[in-house]
Amino acid sequence: MDLADYTACDGTELRRLLAAREIGAVDLRDTALRAIAAVDGQLNAVVSGPYEDAQAAADGPLAGVPFAVKDTLPESGRPLGFGSRLLDGYVAGRDATLAERFRAAGLVSLVRSATPEFAFNTDTAPVVHGPTLNPWNLSRSPGGSSGGAAALVASGALPMAHGNDGGGSIRVPAAWCGLVGLKPSRGRVPLGPAVGEAVGGFAHEFGLTRTVRDAALLLDAVNGPAPGDRYYVARPEISYMGSLEREPPPLRVALCTSSPFGTTTDPQVSAAVQTVADTLAELGHHVEEVSPQVHEERLRACLETVWSADLAVLASTFGRIGGREAGPETVEAASLACVRRGRELSALDMDAAAATVNSVSRRWGSFLEQHDLFVCPTTPHPAPASGVPDQADERYDSAARWLDVVFGPSPFTPIANLTGQPSISLPLGESPDGMPIGVMLTAQTLREDLLLAVSAALESAMPWHRRRPAVHAGAGT
C-alpha cells in the first residue's frame, strides 16, 4: 500500500478496505511500519517496538487496524516504563483489561508511545527517553502526557492510538497536534484489573484519533464494565457510531473563554472558540456566555493533594518493582518534589481534597442540567516550545510550583477529571503561524453520544482534514 494512500485513511476506512479485501492485513502492517519509520526519527514518539509479530483478533470491529499503546498501560511481555528511570528495563507480566480489549477489537499494537515521567506533564520529554516533538513544528511541544500517541497519529504514522487523561493528557496533545481527543466519563472505559481507579478517580482511559467517527468506533469497541470495576457503567443502548447518524436537537450551549486559573487566553484562541459558537448558533443551537464559578485556591489545593498522593504511591510501587530507590538519580526533580509532598499528606488533607471534588462535581453537574454543552478553549494558547515545562529542572522544588506550571497551560481541562464528565477537544482552529487550536466541548456525565453527535456536525461544518503537518508519513510519496 502506498504511504500517501495509507495516511489519507482513518481507521474506519482502513477497516473497510480490509473487509472488502482491497488491501491485505500483512500489507497494511508493513505499510504502517514504514510510516512509523518515516517519521519517528524526527519525532521520537516510540519508546519500544516495533513489534512486527503483534497479534490481535481477526474478527473484531477494528481487525487489522494498526495502533500504539501508551507506555502507561501494561501489555504482557512488553516493557512498561511510565517515562521513569525507576522502571527502566521492567517488563509487564500481565495485561490490563483495556489492552485485552484493544486486541479483542482487532487493533494491532505495533509500538508503545512516549509519556513524560509518571504521565504528569503537559510536555513529553522524559530524561529516560528524551523529547518527543510536534509534527506541525519540531520546535514545539506535542503536549502531554499522551504526547507520543498524538505525534504518531498527527503525522499519519497511525490512524489512532491509546491515551489516558488525568488532567488533560488526551485533550491537550489533541489540541496542540490537531486531533480529536475524547476523555470519556469516569468508568466508561475500564482501568483494571490491577487498580480500581487512578489518580484519585481523575484519570480516564481512551485514545486519540483524526476523525470523530474513529473516536465513536473505538469507544464502541472498548467501553463497558469489567468484573469488579469500582464504577459499573453499562454499555449504551445505541452504539456511538449509531449516535453519529442522529442530528442533535436544539441545544443550550454555554460559552466561556476565561480561564479558571487566571491564565490569559490568547486572542487567537478566543476567536477560534467564538467561531465555533457562531457555527453552533447557525446549526440551530442557543449559545450564551456563562460558566459556573470555580474557587481557584481550593481547586489548586485539591489537584496538588491528589496528584502528589498518586506520585508518592507510584514512586513506592515502581521503586519496589524495579529494585530502585526514588531519589535524584532515578526520579526527575519536579516529580520528586511531588513524591515528597505526597508522603507528607494526612488523612485530613485527602478528605479536604475529596470535599472539593464533591463540591465541584455537584456545581458542574447542576450546571449541565441547565446547559447541554459547555464550550471553551482546550488550552489558552497553541503549543509552546518543546521542553516547556522541564520536569527535570531543579528549580521545581515543591509540588505547588510544579502544579502552577503544569496546569497554567491547561487550566480548562482538569474540571472534567474531577467531575468525571465526558469532554472532547476538536481541532477547529488554526493560529496565524499554522499551529492547531483546540476547542473543547463538555457534556453531562455519560453523554458521550451527545458529544460525538455534535462533534460530527462541527466536523462537517468546519472540516479540518485537509490540514497536514510539516512532518508527515505521506510526504513525498
Active site residues: 70, 145, 169
φ/ψ (deg, to 5) at 55: -120, 150
From residue 303, alpha-carbon distances to 132, 332, 338, 357 in Å are 26, 19, 11, 9
195 and 157 in contact (C-beta within 8 Å)? no
450 and 248 in contact (C-beta within 8 Å)? yes
How many angstroms separate the CA atoms of 453 and 427, rounded?
16
Q: Which residue has the cell 514545539?
A: 140
Q: For residue 442, list its beta bridge partners.
A: 374, 423
From residue 6, alpha-carbon distances to 9, 121, 173, 357, 460 in Å are 6, 32, 23, 44, 22
How many angstroms separate the CA atoms of 447 and 219, rounded?
13
Strands (E), 230-302: 252-255, 286-289
φ/ψ (deg, to 5) at 337: -60, -40
Q: For residue 91, list its beta bridge partners.
A: 79
124 and 29 in contact (C-beta within 8 Å)? no
What is the amino acid identity at position 212? V
What is the amino acid identity at position 371? H
How many angstroms separate the CA atoms of 380 and 88, rounded?
35
Helices 11-19 and 25-43: crossing angle in degrees, nearest 10, is 160
